[in-house]
Amino acid sequence: MILYNLLRILLYFIISILAIFNKKLLKFFKSRLFQKIGNDNFLNDNEEAILIHFSSVGEFNLTQELIEKILKDSNRKLILSVMTDTGFSIVNKKYSENGNVKIIYFPLDDFFTVHKIYQKYKIEKTIIIETEIWPNLYYFASSNGELLIVNGRLTEKKLKSYLKFGWLIRKTLNRATKIMVQSTSDKERYEKIGIDKHKIKVYKNLKYSIKYNRITEEEIKKYNETVIDKNKKVIVCGSTRPNEEKIWLEVFKQINVDNEYQLVLVPRHLERIGEIENIILENFSKDEYSLITQIEKDNKNKDYKKIILVDKIGILTDFYQIADFVFVGGTLVDIGGHSILEPLYYGKKPIIGKYFQNIEEIVKDAKELGFIEIVKDKHEIIEYLRKSENVDTREFLKK
């Protein structure tokens, strides 16, 4: 722990120099390390709180049922710790008016800020969604009450990297009171690190319990009037990562010779919008694509665009429901894949690449039922799009 925090001080020094020349980096760290902690009346003298930490929108989605249950069945107040800006925005939109919920940015495991959080708020229980390993958070959480890891997962790739720092990872994870993992494979990987096997239990993946929102017929009609050409086959690429947009734009150019398709790109990180626009313009004209915010601003679209670039958070599942084809990103490049359950829930057979180590158990289940298409490259994508038949995948979550 001492060496870990000494290395962090060195890292802060480097980042502080870089932040002088990078406003985005400065804003990112200021929002997390210098947020107001404890300067409120969130807790009364006799009240205790539960802290739930998750990284992204996907993890928040699978945690909502748990959050609602805690708020309904206990008199505990909740502190929701979020890593990403997108996640914070979505969580804030849902719970900012709820006096029993406080939303904070995760303070990047800064020793002093994490200590302040546990000092100012009487946190009796900490719940980590999936497995983010933060030594300072785990230390203060276990020192002040129960520490639970829920929906834990550990890929082979992560296991190899964790074993390089075995002493720190093992000590950190063993601070947990209980680790609830998604599969027996995950359990075995935790045990290889040296985690007490009596702490590890296999539970059903929380993602199977999610109930996603459905858009109304009126909302679909509005999309069809302004954005989506219902006379075309609509391809939606969700949570795309660098280089995946280029692959899909090449695919789109080859298959759309008869102008029968429309492509919707929804990047994982909105700060990449400018970069993606430049990639689009390498093969298409300015008149052939549009940002979703620009269409909404104009409030009409007489000429449907071939390509829609979504520069707005929180509407990916809208497009999944409208799509004819769905690609889930982080799978054509070595990221490990994002959730495929949303398209499955809406009855759409997801297309993914060969990198799906983050979601391997769900992919395995979906593959057994023929509810997923795994492709290696753009040639296999094109082949699948040309010969595919519709498959209703909604039964997957009822199995």
Residues annotated as part of the active site = 59
Instruction: Say if residues 236 and 267 touch (Cβ distance below 8 Å).
Output: no
What one-character-per-residue DSSP string does 229-294 give?
A: -TTSEEEEEEEE-TTHHHHHHHHHHHHTTTS-EEEEEEES-GGGHHHHHHHHHTTS-GGGEEEHHH
Dihedral sign, Cα of residue 98, residue 212, residue 317, residue 335: positive
Residue 172 contacts residue 196 (beta carbons within 8 Å): no
- State the Cα–Cα distance between residues 84 and 97, nearest whole angstrom: 20
CB atoms within 10 A of CB 131: 21
Type of residue found at 145: G
Sign of dihedral through CA atoms 279, 376, 328, 206?
negative
Residue recorded with tokens 């997108």: 86
